[in-house]
Structure 1
Amino acid sequence: MDNIHPNSARAWLLASRPKTLAAAATPVLLGCALAQATGGFEWIPALLCLSFALLMQIDANLINDLFDYTKGSDRQDRLGPERACAQGWITTAAMKRGILLTTLVACALGSGLLFYGGPELIAVGAVCVLFAFLYTAGPYPLAYHGWGDLLVILFFGFVPVGCTYYVMCHGWTPEVAIASLSCGLAIDTLLMVNNYRDREQDARSGKQTLVVRFGAKTGHLLYLGLGISASLLCLFFIHYGHFWAALLPQLYLPLHLLSWKRMVEIDHGRALNRILGQTSRNMLLFGILLSVGLIL
């Protein structure tokens, strides 16, 4: 990718990391499915929720790109996808302007949800923006102190699933709680395999992820447990009369187990990027299966 011109449109596209956007769209999809199941689905707030989620994911990607670079974490031995600032595709000054613009556009679109969900969504939006920065920025970057997995469950589970449902149905149900937790656990498998792959580089950079703290074996067991827990949690939907929402997500489990087996066999190196791709596919499939099950 040496032919990428600095601050070009292609550079910004790569910096936005479009392959990660499925993780932002999946919780909104589930929130919409929950709303549809109760007869409260509306297109405009659904599109606003999706737009805000996608823009905040891009914003977080840009913020991580900038602050991981300034902290020296994006080293020459990086195993994951190349980062824009580290590669010189985008200057730090341009990246700061891009982060500001993306944040403002996300907030502008998100403000449209106030007409549907009420002023309490201001606080939710502010927390989303704040933690997008706190993840890798500031004197206590949360990702560097082992809080990443909890934040994924919160901000890719409870917040987007619950808020998408709330702006259309103005409430909270046990089904929303189950779907939120299941979604957060499934998406956290992405972070877990990412941290598993980068454990040696993260240790040298002082990034104390759970895999760095507790070791590779704990990392791949957590990956396994996250996917199994996400799938089995859906069985609780039977209690609320959603048979298909309980059954269909179980089809995700064999794929997750197969990815885990390959992950353990590969163990380390850039070859684990294949497992990252498989995990992203599995996560998206989980979201689709659960959404279809809820609607049925």
Structure 2
Amino acid sequence: MATPAHWLAGARPRTLPAAVAPVLAGTGVAVHVDEAVWWKALLALVVSLALQVGVNYANDYSDGIRGTDADRVGPLRLVGSGLASPAAVKRAAFLAFGVAGVAGLVLAATTAWWLLAVGAVSVVAAWFYTGGSKPYGYLGLGEVMVFVFFGLVAVVGTTYVQTEEWSDGGVPALLAGVGVGSIACAILVANNLRDIPTDRVAGKMTLAVRLGDRLTRWWYAALLVLAVAALVALACCTTWWALLGLVLALPAVPAARIVLGGAGGPGLIPVLQKTGVAELLWAAGAAAGLVIGR
């Protein structure tokens, strides 16, 4: 029987900065161009966190029933380890998606009903990342999903529900989405780099498997560089205070050294945490700068 601690570990709390960061960045843009609507920001945070937890449980379920996690190097998986039944983990995934749906419904009802379509597409994308008969995560498209939904959609959506306009906040929100999405992708790249040997055996053709070990390591570094470039562009069109987001270098530089230094297997696990912290610092620093520079 899985204990509450096992379920918490299965939710993969180290990935949650990837859900907090876009809401921070989007709210920072909202404050800079207009003003924050804090209860909407909190609801956006609930949506983002619930989707992240739902994705994590959905991946646990789908990879577990396929046998992808039978010989796992990384953090605990509930189905793969046999601690929880596939049905129970599937229910947990849909419960998290339900929480996201309720919070999203409130945001749509108070902002614009077309946001329901965005939410529905987000849930479908989350499930079919590793679910269904032809999961796109097994085709090397996982980074696309992360960049779009945990970068662009999450940041731009957070800004829009608070400002309800595109004219002033559209470009800054888009640039912030690129920065946050790039680092979110880097988290996935580090995870898939670690899993190349087992994913290749299981037939999970992630982008890391397709690129190979060496190119994947440089791809990780390139994503961090893209995040910095997006931050500079954001500062150019808003305020130079946004460059406070460069504090991301504190965890990002050591993480890049580990990756480019050739670490593998368990040696890459700290990179996930450092990259998650880097994403959170990028968003928090940029948001703080946008508020100061208003």
Q: What CA deviation, in whole Å up to 9, does each residue of 1:256-275 have, x standing for no partner?
A: 23321222324312111122
Gaps of 5+ in 1: 1-5
Does the 8 A contact of 1:7 with 1:94 survive in 2? no
Tell me, what secondary structure is at the counterpart of 1:102? Answer: helix
Which of these residues, 169, 174, 179, is aligned with residue 177 of structure 1?
174
Distance in 1 of aligned mates of 2:154 and 2:45: 9
**Identity of aligned pairs, percent?**
33
Q: Does 1:140 align with 2:134?
A: yes
Q: Which residue of 1 aligns with 2:209?
A: 212
The within-5 A match list for 1:216-227 is 216-227=213-224
The within-5 A match list for 1:140-159 is 140-159=134-153
Does the 8 A contact of 1:196 with 1:220 survive in 2? yes
Distance in 2 of aligned mates of 1:118 and 1:202: 41
Does the 8 A contact of 1:266 with 1:272 survive in 2? no
Does the 8 A contact of 1:11 with 1:90 survive in 2? no
Q: What CA deviation, in whole Å up to 9, does each residue of 1:153-201 have, x standing for no partner?
A: 1011111101111111112321111111111001111011111111111
Q: Which residue of 2 aligns with 1:160?
A: 154
Which of these residues, 101, 106, 119, is aligned with residue 95 of structure 2?
101
The within-5 A match list for 1:1-296 is 6-76=1-71, 78-172=72-166, 173-245=170-242, 247-253=243-249, 255-296=251-292
Tell me, what secondary structure is at the counterpart of 2:16? Answer: helix
Gaps of 5+ in 2: none
Look up the equivalent residue of 2:152 and give its one-letter code.
F
Does the 8 A contact of 2:64 with 2:86 survive in 1? no
Does the 8 A contact of 2:238 with 2:290 survive in 1? no
Q: What CA deviation, in whole Å up to 9, does each residue of 1:220-242 have, x standing for no partner?
A: 10111100111122212343241
Tell me, what secondary structure is at the counterpart of 2:220? Answer: helix
Deviation larger for 276-285 or 137-146:
276-285
Q: What CA deviation, in whole Å up to 9, does each residue of 1:246-289 have, x standing for no partner?
A: x2233324642332122232431211112222222222111111
Q: What CA deviation, in whole Å up to 9, does each residue of 1:9-37 have, x standing for no partner?
A: 33322221122111111101111111111
TM-score (norm 1): 0.93
Does the 8 A contact of 2:70 with 2:81 survive in 1? no
Does the 8 A contact of 1:67 with 1:137 survive in 2? yes
Distance in 2 of aligned mates of 1:34 and 1:232: 17
Does the 8 A contact of 1:37 with 1:295 survive in 2? yes
Does the 8 A contact of 2:183 with 2:275 survive in 1? no
Distance in 1 of aligned mates of 2:94 and 2:19: 20
Look up the equivalent residue of 1:34 and give its one-letter code.
V
Indicate the RMSD between aligned Cα atoms, in angstroms: 1.5
